Amino acid sequence: MQAYLVGALFFLLAIAIFVFQNTEQVIVHFITWTSPEVSLAVVVLISACTGALITFLLDSFRQFKIARRIKELSDQNVKLQKKINRLENTQSKNASHSDVAASKDKE
């Protein structure tokens, strides 16, 4: 987690340096769309924010899937623990019944 934050800070610093050094006006072309003249800094900031938003959404989706899987496995674990306890109780009851039967046979 700390490495992620340090990496993000370095990336943010690099973007800030790039923005302050590249303030000229540019025209952006995308497929058939053409923008009016806009500062290169604005283009870079919008691109970085869009990338950050996409990354956040994809990571949120991944975290949601992981949380759901953890819940499924926890529920399965609870069921299996109950089953183990039931089987252990059944086994101990059977063992005590066989002990009682063995002691009656000795008498």
Query: Could you read off the pLDDT of 41-63 as tens digits, one per residue?
Result: 888 888 888 988 998 899 899 99
- Provide the pLDDT for residue 107: 57
- 39 φ/ψ angles, rounded to the nearest 5 degrees: -65, 140
| Residue 104 predicted with pLDDT over 70 | no
Tokens of 34: 């053409």
Range of the domain at 54: 2-106
- Provide the pLDDT for residue 21: 84
Question: Total domain count for the chain?
Answer: 1
Strands (E), 33-79: 33-34, 38-39
Q: Tell which residue, 45, 38, 37, has the closest CA to residue 19.
A: 45
Reported as a pLDDT band with limits 50, 70 and 90, residue 97 is low
Write down the mean pLDDT value for the chain: 85
How large is the angle between the packed helices 40-106 and 2-21, nearest 10 degrees?
Answer: 170
